[in-house]
Structure 1
């Protein structure tokens, strides 16, 4: 009888142990599934926030060169620079060739110099306008979409994505859309000696101050980075790698935007675990529009 009771007790212990092992295995599987689902959901949240940031950044970048305003400003600055140079050269030659026109030549030079000063002030105003309108476009794009981004799992919650930072600049290695004028040979030689333009494309480099030589070196002629048209084709606005973004320097007109958007993901029924999630996108604006037959863009 005692042997029977011993066997029965051992059987119960064995069955109890198996039950506990089964429950432990089941709980392990459940926990594993929850961890896996949380990880997948976190990746989903990151992808959605990245998509949101990409779209907002593109919208902001497009606004920078709205209606080709950067391209037009570069052209105006380049033409104004050439006018000042030719006017100065005329004042040098008139006393020897046509002394009676000396007063007129000086008046023309003064007007061209005044126009250069006013154009620089307008360029600064445009720089601030482009930045403000781009920031507004980025904010509006973000606000119009954040309500649709939600977490899939009840134990994971995310805050509404918000803008962490907005930076403006340009893409490394992109020239301006302004071209060197080969007719003004001495000016072209001066610019070549200072390496102000690319000798193969004849395009002035971007984000430079193309100072004139001599008495007009006090004037500012800032040419900003903007992709020039290639065979009449305009470069579209597009996403770019963060590594090739060059932060704005010297109050140049901006042709690229870098936007960082953040959110906070909370895990647990009491939201005791928090994880900050930031994503960054960079986009460059559309390139310059090719000139028409009259040289205007």
Structure 2
């Protein structure tokens, strides 16, 4: 009987141990499951954080690209606007000396001046040596003076004609290109350009195309004394600007000659773009040979910093040079 109770007690203890072990195993399984669930959640959070970080990086890169496109568009628009200003200035410059009309006028003014001087010297000689021919000499002088006065009127007419045609050419060129500018993009907005200024003048350090006329020593001495000649190496040209007055009694006649590039070895200088600061305002009633324009354009990026502004450019162009004298 005692033995039976002992065996029963052993079985009970063994059963309790088995139950306890099973409980511990179940607890371990639950803990392991919890750890796995936590690891899965942590991995998901890590993957989620990486996605968020990647999205933020992509957004920053995209924003940087848009800002870059915006300011790159500003640079492109500025270069394009400068090119348009160059085209407009050139269109006007080509019209000024069309068919070498200014070069020919300068040559005629110089020769008319020489003719008046020669006629005056001839009259002075006739009065002292051949008084019987004085009326003929006086008639020749009067005719030379009348021709010089008429030529000055034609020069004034040519000035108005060349100026008007040049302005019309610049306005026409502007009308052709202004419609190509307006556009609206997310990163760049461009309005219509405005042609603010059109000026006509001359190019600094460029004298006339006419070489000093020889064969009348009195005229050469007078021009040298008055400083009418620009002494350049191998070339003596009449200076542009002020009237090249003759000695008395013909000092009241105007002889204006315009600035114009002289031919070099029979090569004519084409109309070309020059530095805007090389443009000079006319101080005398001469025919202009240089153009200058100013254009403004409203632009804005719409992104990044405040880049809305009125973009302004200037351009200047010199007229076609003179042809070789015939």
Q: TM-score range by the shorter chain?
A: 0.7 to 0.9
Asked if 1 retains the 8 angstrom alpha-carbon contact of 2:184 and 2:190, the reply is no
Matches within 5 A, 1:206-245: 206-245=240-279
What displacement does 1:74 show? 0.3
Separation of aligned partners in 2, 1:92 and 1:210: 21
Q: 1:169 aligns with which of 198, 201, 211?
A: 201
2:298 corresponds to which of 264, 268, 272? 264
Answering whether residue 141 of structure 2 is matched by residue 89 of structure 1, we say no
* Cα distance, 1:50–1:284 mapped onto 2, change above 3 Å: same
Could you tell which deviates more after superposition, 272-281 or 203-212?
272-281
User: Aligned equivalents of 1:273 and 1:171: distance in 2?
Assistant: 35
1:65 aligns with one of 88, 97, 100: 97
Higher helix share: 2
CA distance in 1 between partners of 2:121 and 2:50 (Å): 101
CA drift of 1:206 comes to 1.9
Contact 1:63 1:130 in 2 (8 A): yes
The alpha-carbon deviation at position 147 of structure 1 amounts to: 2.6
Secondary structure of the residue aligned to 1:252 is coil
Q: Classify the secondary structure of the residue corresponding to 2:254.
A: coil
Deviations 1:142-184 (A, max 9, x none): 2122333354734422122231111111211112111212201
Secondary structure at 2:196's aligned position in 1?
strand
Distance 1:37 1:152, change over 3 A: farther
Question: Which has the larger Rg?
Answer: 2
Residue 153 of structure 2 is aligned to residue 121 of structure 1:
yes
* 3-state SS of 2:229 partner: coil
Answering whether residue 69 of structure 2 is matched by residue 37 of structure 1, we say yes
In 1: Cα distance, 2:130 partner to 2:298 partner = 75
Structure 1 gap ranges (5+): 293-297
Offset of residue 222 of structure 1: 0.8
Q: Distance in 2 between matches of 1:273 and 1:235?
A: 41
Q: Which among 289, 292, 295 is matched to residue 323 of structure 2?
A: 289
1:102 correspondence with 2:134: yes
| Contact 1:45 1:151 survives alignment (8 Å) | no
Aligned to 1:277: 311
Report how many aligned residue pairs link the two structures.
Answer: 290
